[in-house]
């Protein structure tokens, strides 16, 4: 009875992913947000490893290693460095209406499960039940992005969305072909470098990383 | 072994590397031009090869060239070549006006070549996963170009561009994952299940439910890059605030390339569903874009912003044409892609020089271009007349074909299209006319403008309005058949 146990572990990890998504949605401190993001990356790595071990899909080990290197080590490190250099390390955002945001988040989760249901039924993977959670993570990350007004949290939301997408890839298909995963990882890295440059440009120009300064371009 | 293909991809990549080192030298603009000309020659050779030998699959099936994408490769290489010709004097003037320093000039030249590389990779790859990666890379290369001037407005535009296109394209990745999960069941896991040539042969046996859901995500994702309403918010800002050569390639090339990605996916979804699901979605989004953009045109004050909305309108028209489908509408869509790309980039060249002469992009402050520089004035006037679809320009021919096939296939849509085109005409013409004629306030510039690209583009568009050579007709027919 090996398979049910691994399925249970995967479901548990998926539940942790979802919990972390909610935690990120309501976390006000930038430093904690980065740690939560790293934790989500770690959960993703573990679940990829369990799937790789239980299905014998060798390329998933590489995918897990890539996720670990990128999402647990490199990106959190870069983000830590960035917030230190930008001296926003102890920034606390004022989030309006956390209960409402949570309720909207719950609605999104229900929506995600409904959308994913027909696909989960058709998928032949042992992870198929987690596709709904993966989609929910993507949508919650999206919600995190649009409720934030500071640049760094917005970007963390963006990266969390990428986590959700990788989780979706392991749920629905046991991962994308390796060349594509490398390509995506490369894009994320380059994107992070560009954003880093961008943060400094924005701060130099506006003396702040508040995106509310960036709302001048509108249709009259 | 196909050397043309490697040259097409290798030249801009090499150019990007070289210009990253020496992009600030006085001869960097000439090197930029030389690399772009070399890319175009390679693309022309590749096109000749495909025409004589037929479709090509090479490098372990990773690259695939047929008449649909080779036509876009040729167009992309051509417009990027003429844009590099235009950007030399334009960037010199910006440099002389103190808007740019050496470092930013280097960034511009290097990223320009890399941007061309990513677009060509999108067009030539056979792997739908790599296609996604390359299209995302195309966004990344242009983000820093949009914010090149580092003004508050340009930073805002670039941030919006990055976040909106990033989120949009993440949806497309989800769509690609779903598509892979459907194809993996038929083709088995591994690299083969994302290769378009494999997918096309088994399209009929892909799971319809998954494919239709995948297409919704792909449409939202790639549609953001095409600039379809209501996902178009980044587009006017990025066009207005970035340097004009970047606006020209964004409008003329990137939108086409994103639409190409969507078309490739549509073929698969059509094959899987055997129902006009994708067509209906594309027609809906296309028509909405045409109508909304047309009404926004008259409210614009910034000249580049106005022509950006005009791009939204035309991309909507093309999306609508491909949504209708059938040989005539597809033919018209491809023709419109060509003429829009040529005309719009010519307009942006003229607009760039006009804005430099007037010292502003606000249309009310640009007056009497004809007095100070008849060539810029005529370029802007003729370009506007061409893009508004007046005969005898090529845009008239393609719009006429789209409208007549709409009357035949989707008569309900015709009044909307006609009203939108009329509104667009009134808005653009009434704004361009006083800018070109009348008293002037423009000044002389330290470097003479490059007007050959403007008139070369307009001459081709004019020629296409009179006469489309038979081999080009065959080519369009061939490509139209591939879209189905």
Q: Do A202 and B159 touch (CB under 8 A)?
A: yes
Neighbour-count burial for B70-79, b at 16+ CB within 10 Å, e otherwise: bbbbbbbbbb
Q: What is the pLDDT of residue A3?
A: 55
Q: For the segment B342-377, what is each residue's pLDDT rounded down to a tens digit? A: 999 999 999 999 998 888 898 888 888 888 888 889
Q: Do A177 and B147 touch (CB under 8 A)?
A: no
Q: What is the pLDDT of residue A59?
A: 84
pTM of the complete model: 0.93
Query: What does the alpha-carbon distance between residue A205 and residue B154 come to, in Å, rounded to a whole number?
Result: 11
- The answer for B 91-110 residues in CB contact with A (under 8 A) is none
φ and ψ at residue A89, rounded to 5 degrees = -60, -40
Contacts of A201 in chain B (CB under 8 A): 147, 150, 155
Contacts of A179 in chain B (CB under 8 A): 127, 129-130, 191
Comparing CA positions, the residue from A200, A79, A195, A150 lying closest to residue B143 is: A195
> Angle at Cα A156 formed by Cα A150 and Cα A160, nearest 5°?
145
Average pLDDT over residues B38-65: 89
Where is A8: in which H helix or E strand?
helix A2-26
Q: Which of A174, A183, A206 sits opposite B189 (nearest CB)?
A: A174
**Residue A1 confidence class, pLDDT cut points 50, 70, 90:** very low
DSSP of B338-378: HHHHHHHHHHHHHHHHHHHHHT--BGGG---HHHH-HHHHH
Contact B380, B435 (CB under 8 A): yes
Where is B396: in which H helix or E strand?
helix B394-409
Mean pLDDT of chain B: 90
φ and ψ at residue B231, rounded to 5 degrees = -105, 20
Q: Which chain B residue has its CA at the smallest distance from A181's CA?
A: B129
Q: Which of B157, B185, B191 sits opposite A177 (nearest CB)?
A: B191
pLDDT value at B1 more than 60 = no
**Residue B194 confidence class, pLDDT cut points 50, 70, 90:** confident
Q: Which chain B residue has its CA at the smallest distance from A204's CA?
A: B150
Is A113 buried (19+), middle (13-18) or exposed (0-12) by CB count in 10 A? Answer: middle
pLDDT value at A219 more than 70 = no
Q: What is the pLDDT of residue B345?
A: 94
Tell me what percent of the residues of chain B surpass a pLDDT of 90.
57
Comparing CA positions, the residue from B271, B428, B244 lying closest to residue B346 is: B244
**Residue A44 confidence class, pLDDT cut points 50, 70, 90:** very high
Average pLDDT over residues B210-224: 93
Query: What does the alpha-carbon distance between residue B391 and residue B385 come to, in Å, rounded to a whole number?
Result: 9
- Distance from the A32 Cα atom to the nearest Cα atom in chain B, whole angstroms: 22
Q: For the segment A59-71, what is each residue's pLDDT rounded down to a tens digit? A: 889 889 999 999 9
Query: What does the alpha-carbon distance between residue B349 and residue A21 come to, in Å, rounded to a whole number?
Result: 47
Q: Do B133 and A187 touch (CB under 8 A)?
A: yes
By DSSP bridging, strand B63-65 and strand B56-58 are: antiparallel
**Most A CBs within 10 Å, among B60, B129, B132, to test the A interface:** B129
Q: B374-387 and B303-324 helices cross at what angle (nearest 10)?
A: 30
Contacts of B296 in chain A (CB under 8 A): 219
Where is A67: in which H helix or E strand?
helix A59-67
Quote the ipTM score: 0.91
Q: For the segment B417-436, what is each residue's pLDDT rounded down to a tens digit? A: 999 999 999 999 999 998 88
Q: What is the pLDDT of residue B191?
A: 63
Q: For the segment B245-303, what is each residue's pLDDT rounded down to a tens digit? A: 999 999 999 999 999 999 999 999 998 988 889 999 999 999 999 999 999 998 999 99
Structure tokens at B409: 């296939």
Q: Which chain B residue has its CA at the smallest distance from A182's CA?
A: B133
Q: For the segment A177-195, what is each residue's pLDDT rounded down to a tens digit? A: 888 888 888 888 888 888 8
pLDDT value at B336 more than 80 = yes
Contacts of A177 in chain B (CB under 8 A): 127, 129, 190-191, 193-194
Query: What does the alpha-carbon distance between residue B195 and residue B129 come to, in Å, rounded to a whole number?
Result: 8
Q: Do B173 and A165 touch (CB under 8 A)?
A: yes
């Amino acid at each position: 009875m090996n398979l049910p146990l691994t399925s249970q572990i995967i479901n548990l990890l998926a539940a942790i992913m979802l919990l972390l998504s909610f935690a990120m949605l309501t976390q006000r401190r930038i430093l904690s947000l980065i740690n939560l993001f790293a934790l989500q990356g770690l959960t993703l790595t573990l679940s990829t490893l369990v799937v790789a071990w239980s299905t014998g899909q060798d390329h998933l080990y590489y995918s897990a290693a890539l996720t670990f290197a990128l999402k647990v080590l490199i990106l959190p490190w870069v983000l830590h460095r960035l917030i230190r250099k930008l001296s926003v390390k102890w920034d606390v955002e004022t989030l309006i209406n956390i209960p409402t945001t949570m309720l909207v988040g719950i609605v999104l989760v229900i929506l995600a499960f409904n959308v994913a249901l027909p696909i989960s039924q058709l998928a032949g993977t042992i992870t198929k039940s987690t596709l709904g959670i993966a989609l929910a993570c993507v949508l919650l990350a999206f919600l995190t992005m649009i409720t934030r007004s500071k640049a760094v949290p917005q970007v963390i939301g963006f990266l969390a969305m990428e986590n959700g997408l990788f989780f979706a890839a392991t749920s629905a298909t046991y991962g994308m072909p390796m060349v594509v995963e490398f390509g995506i990882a490369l894009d994320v890295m380059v994107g992070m470098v560009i954003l880093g440059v961008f943060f400094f440009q924005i701060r130099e120009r506006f003396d702040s990383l508040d995106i509310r300064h960036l709302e001048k371009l509108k249709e009259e | 072994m196909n050397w043309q293909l490697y040259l097409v991809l290798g030249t801009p990549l090499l150019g990007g590397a070289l210009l990253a080192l020496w992009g600030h030298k006085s001869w960097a603009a000439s090197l930029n031009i030389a690399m772009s000309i070399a890319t175009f020659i390679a693309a022309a050779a590749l096109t000749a090869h495909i025409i004589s030998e037929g479709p090509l699959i090479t490098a372990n099936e990773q690259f695939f060239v047929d008449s649909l994408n080779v036509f876009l490769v040729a167009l992309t290489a051509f417009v990027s070549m003429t844009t590099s010709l235009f950007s030399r004097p334009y960037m010199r003037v910006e440099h002389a006006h103190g808007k740019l320093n050496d470092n930013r000039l280097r960034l511009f030249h290097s990223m320009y070549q890399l941007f061309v590389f990513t677009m060509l990779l999108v067009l030539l790859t056979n792997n739908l996963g790599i296609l996604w990666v390359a299209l995302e890379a195309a966004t990344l290369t242009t983000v820093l170009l949009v914010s090149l001037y580092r003004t508050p407005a340009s930073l805002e535009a670039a941030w919006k561009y990055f976040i909106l296109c990033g989120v949009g394209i993440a949806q497309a990745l989800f769509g690609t994952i779903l598509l892979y999960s459907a194809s993996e069941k038929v083709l088995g896991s591994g690299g083969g299940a994302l290769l378009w040539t494999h997918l096309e042969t088994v399209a009929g046996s892909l799971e319809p439910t998954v494919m239709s859901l995948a297409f919704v995500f792909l449409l939202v994702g790639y549609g953001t890059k095409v600039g379809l309403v209501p996902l178009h918010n980044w587009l006017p800002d990025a066009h207005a605030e970035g340097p004009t050569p970047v606006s020209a390639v964004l409008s003329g090339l990137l939108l086409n390339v994103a639409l190409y990605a969507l078309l490739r996916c549509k073929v698969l979804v059509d094959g899987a569903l055997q129902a006009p699901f994708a067509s209906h979605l594309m027609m809906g989004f296309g028509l909405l874009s045409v109508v909304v953009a047309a009404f926004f045109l008259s409210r614009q004050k910034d000249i580049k912003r106005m022509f950006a909305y005009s791009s939204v309108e035309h991309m909507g028209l093309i999306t609508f044409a491909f949504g209708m489908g059938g040989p005539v509408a597809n033919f018209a869509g491809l023709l419109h892609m060509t003429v829009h790309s040529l005309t719009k980039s010519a307009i942006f060249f003229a607009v760039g020089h006009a804005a430099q002469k007037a010292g502003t992009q606000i249309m009310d402050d640009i007056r009497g271009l004809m007095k100070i520089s008849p060539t810029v004035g005529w370029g802007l006037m003729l370009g506007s007349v061409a893009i508004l679809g007046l005969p005898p320009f090529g845009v008239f021919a393609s719009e006429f074909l789209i409208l007549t096939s709409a009357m035949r296939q989707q008569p309900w849509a015709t009044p909307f299209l006609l009203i939108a085109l009329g509104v667009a005409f009134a808005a653009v013409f009434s704004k361009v006319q006083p800018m070109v004629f009348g008293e002037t306030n423009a000044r002389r510039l330290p470097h003479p403008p490059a007007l050959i690209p403007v008139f070369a583009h307009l001459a081709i568009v004019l020629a296409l309005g009179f006469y489309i050579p038979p081999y080009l007709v065959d080519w369009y027919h061939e490509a139209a058949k591939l879209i189905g």
